[in-house]
Structure 1
Amino acid sequence: MDEVNDAVKVVVAHSERATLRVGDVFLKVDADRARIDAEVEAMALVPVPTPEVLWHKPPVLALAAVPGTALGRLGEPSTASPAAWAAAGAAVRRLHDAPLPPRVGRAGRGSDELAADLDVECGWLVTNGVLPADLVARNREVAEAAFRPWTPVFTHGDLQVDHVFVDGDGIAGIIDWSEAGQGDALYDLATLTLGHEEHLGEVVAGYGTDVDLDVIRAWWSLRSLSNIRWLVEHGFDPFAPGCEVDALRSRM
C-alpha cells in the first residue's frame, strides 16, 4: 500500500461531526442523520460542481476529493487570482438562480429568531469578558441591517472560503452541503468573503447583480458574534489573526 496516499488525516473533529481523509476519499461521520441526508440531496440538485458521492451509509458519507485548491483560508491571505474570486461569485449566482429546494436551510432563519439568538450570544460575550462591551455593541448595531425582508434562494448555508475549490481561474468544486436549503442570498456572499473583504468586489462582479454591501457587512458582524462561543467551546480560535474577532474589530 502507498503509505502517503493511504495515510489517515483528521480534517475536522468535534462533538457533532468528524471528517477524515484517506487518500482521495473523505469520510464524513455525523451524529445527525438528517444533516448527512440533506447534504446528499443538495448535491444532487445544485448546478455547480460538487464532490462525487462514493457511498452513503448513515452515519457515514464517503466522498471523492475534488481537484484543485481551496479559494482561501480564514486568517490567511488568499493566493487565488481575482478571476478565480469572480468565478466563485458566478458559481454562487448559478446556485441562487436554481429552483428552490424543499428544505429551509441554515441561511433561512427568520429575523426574529436570529435577533433573539444574537442577543443571547452578545450577552454571553460581554458577561464572560470575552470581548469589550463597546465592540459587541457596535457590531450588534451593524448587524441590524441583516434583519430585512428577502426573497428565498437556493443557498449553500456554510459557504466558507475553504469550501470552494479552484483550478486555475475556474471553480473545481464546492464542498460541505449539509446546511443547504432555502435562505438569504447575501448570507452566502458574506460567508464566502468573511475575513477576505479585499475580494468582495471581485465576488460581486462575478455574481453579476447589485447587492447591498451594508447587508454583507451586517452578516459579517452577525455571523462573527454568533459563532464565537461555539468556536471556543469546540477548540477553534476566533482570536487568530484575520478571523472572527478581527472581522468585528474592522467594523470599529
Structure 2
Amino acid sequence: MDEVEVVVAHSERATLRVGDVFLKVDSDPARLDAEVEAMTLAPVPIPELLWRKPNVLAIAAVPGSTLGRLGGPSTGSPAAWAAAGAAIRTMHEAPLPPRQGQAGRSIATLTAELDTECELLVSKGVLPADLVARNREVAEAALRPWAPAFTHGDLQIAHLFLDGDEVTGIIDWSEAGQGDALFDLATFTLGHEDHLGDLLAGYGADVDLDVIRAWWSLRSLLIVRWLIEHGFDAFAPGCEVDVLKARM
C-alpha cells in the first residue's frame, strides 16, 4: 500500500503524494481554478490533470527529475539548463493568459510591499540593517516598466522536470499569469547563479542581467519573513539569506 507523503504544507495549502498521484489541497478554490486555467493554456509540458473537486486538484507525477533545489547542488548538465531555458522562452512568447500573475504586480504595489518588508526585517531584528539596505538598493533595478509575458510566477528550480535534456513537465501553476519574464528567470536561478549563462544560452534572448540580480534581491527580501513564519529555513546554506549576502 502506498504511503501518504506530505510534500509541502502550511496554513493556506498542502500538497500530498500517494504513489504517482499528487493531491493539492487549497483553502481558496479560486487558486485551483487559476492553476487549472494556466495549465490548459501553457504551451509547455504539464502534469496530467486527473480530477478536480472544489478544494482539491489531483495530478499525475511528472517523469524525470529536476535540475536541483534551492540550497542544494545542481546535477544538471549545461545542455539540460539550456533546454530549460528554451522551454521557458516558449512559455514567455505564448499568447497572454487573461489574468495578472504573481510576476505581474505593478511597480507601485511592489515598491510599497518592498519598503514595508524592509522596515519590518530591520525593526524585528530578522536581518541586519546594512544587508537589507544594500539589497533594497540592488532591488531598485527591477522596479521598471516591462512588457507583459506569459509567466509561471513561481518557477522554482524544483518545479521543472527533465529526462536527460528534454523537459517533461512544469508543475505548480497557481501564480501564473501576465507578468515580467525576468521574474521567472530570476526565480529559476535563485541560489544557482553560476548556471544563469547556461539557462540564457537556451533562452536565446538578450536580457538585462542587472534586472535579474535585482529580482534575486527583491524576491528574497519579500519572502524571508513569510518563510520563517511558515516553518521554512531561509537561513539554510544557499537559500534566501545567502542570496542576499552575496550582494554585499
Counting matched residue pairs gives 248
- Give the Cα–Cα distance (whole angstroms) in 2 for the partners of residues 218 and 58 of structure 1: 38
Q: Which residue of 1 aligns with 2:146?
A: 150
- Give the Cα–Cα distance (whole angstroms) in 1 for the partners of residues 31 and 148 of structure 2: 20
Matches within 5 A, 1:30-41: 30-41=26-37
Amino acid in structure 2 at the alignment position of 1:73: R
- Give the Cα–Cα distance (whole angstroms) in 1 for the partners of residues 59 and 227 of structure 2: 25
5+ residue gaps, structure 1, are: none
Structure 2 residue corresponding to 1:136, chosen from 132, 136, 141 = 132
Q: Which residue of 2 aligns with 1:25?
A: 21
Amino acid in structure 2 at the alignment position of 1:110: S
Q: Helix, strand or coil: the match of 2:17? A: strand
1:246 aligned onto 2:242: yes
Q: Helix, strand or coil: the match of 1:182? A: strand
Aligned-pair CA distance for 1:125? 0.7
Q: Helix, strand or coil: the match of 1:186? A: helix
Aligned-pair CA distance for 1:50? 0.4
Query: Structure 1 stretch 174-183 or stretch 122-131: which is displaced more?
Result: 122-131
1:105 aligned onto 2:117: no
Q: Which residue of 2 aligns with 1:212?
A: 208
Q: Which residue of 2 aligns with 1:162?
A: 158
Superposed CA offset, 1:83-127 (max 9, x none): 111111100000001000100000000111101001111111101
1:64 aligned onto 2:50: no
Q: Which residue of 2 aligns with 1:182?
A: 178
Amino acid in structure 1 at the alignment position of 2:153: G
Aligned-pair CA distance for 1:72? 1.1
**Following TM superposition, where does structure 1 have runs of at least 4 consecutive aligned residues deviating by more than 4 angstroms?**
none
- Matched residues, percent identical? 76
Amino acid in structure 2 at the alignment position of 1:9: E
Structure 1 residue corresponding to 2:224, chosen from 204, 228, 249 = 228
Aligned-pair CA distance for 1:80? 1.0
Q: Which residue of 2 aligns with 1:12?
A: 8
Aligned-pair CA distance for 1:148? 0.8
Q: Which residue of 2 aligns with 1:200?
A: 196
Superposed CA offset, 1:48-82 (max 9, x none): 00000000111000000000111210000110111
- Give the Cα–Cα distance (whole angstroms) in 1 for the partners of residues 30 and 3 of structure 2: 29
Q: Which residue of 2 aligns with 1:73?
A: 69
Aligned-pair CA distance for 1:160? 0.3
Output the aligned Cα RMSD: 0.6
Using structure 2 for the length normalisation, give the TM-score: 0.99
- Give the Cα–Cα distance (whole angstroms) in 1 for the partners of residues 4 and 170 of structure 2: 22
Q: Helix, strand or coil: the match of 1:235? A: coil
Superposed CA offset, 1:119-144 (max 9, x none): 11111110111111000000000000
Amino acid in structure 2 at the alignment position of 1:188: D
Q: Which residue of 2 aligns with 1:95?
A: 91
Amino acid in structure 2 at the alignment position of 1:58: P
- Give the Cα–Cα distance (whole angstroms) in 1 for the partners of residues 87 and 165 of structure 2: 12
- Give the Cα–Cα distance (whole angstroms) in 2 for the partners of residues 189 and 62 of structure 1: 27
- Give the Cα–Cα distance (whole angstroms) in 2 for the partners of residues 155 and 176 of structure 1: 12
